[in-house]
Amino acid sequence: MNDLLAEWIAKAEGDFLVAQREMRARDRINYDAIRMKIGINE
């Protein structure tokens, strides 16, 4: 595996953990974390 692919996989795994956390969150939900990842600008 080359360095670029390893970096991409590490980033994707981190993004997945953020998404899982936000799906479980009941208090203090951080919608900005998700908007920034998918490029929503409101």
Do residues 33 and 18 lie in contact, with contact meaning Cβ atoms separated by under 8 Å?
yes
Q: What is the pLDDT of residue 21?
A: 82
Q: Rounded to whole angstroms, how far apart are CA atoms 32 and 41?
A: 10
Which pLDDT does position 9 carry in this prediction? 92
On whether the pTM is more than 0.75, the answer is no
| Domain range list for the chain | 3-38
pLDDT in tens, 1-42: 899 999 999 988 888 888 888 788 777 776 676 555 555 544
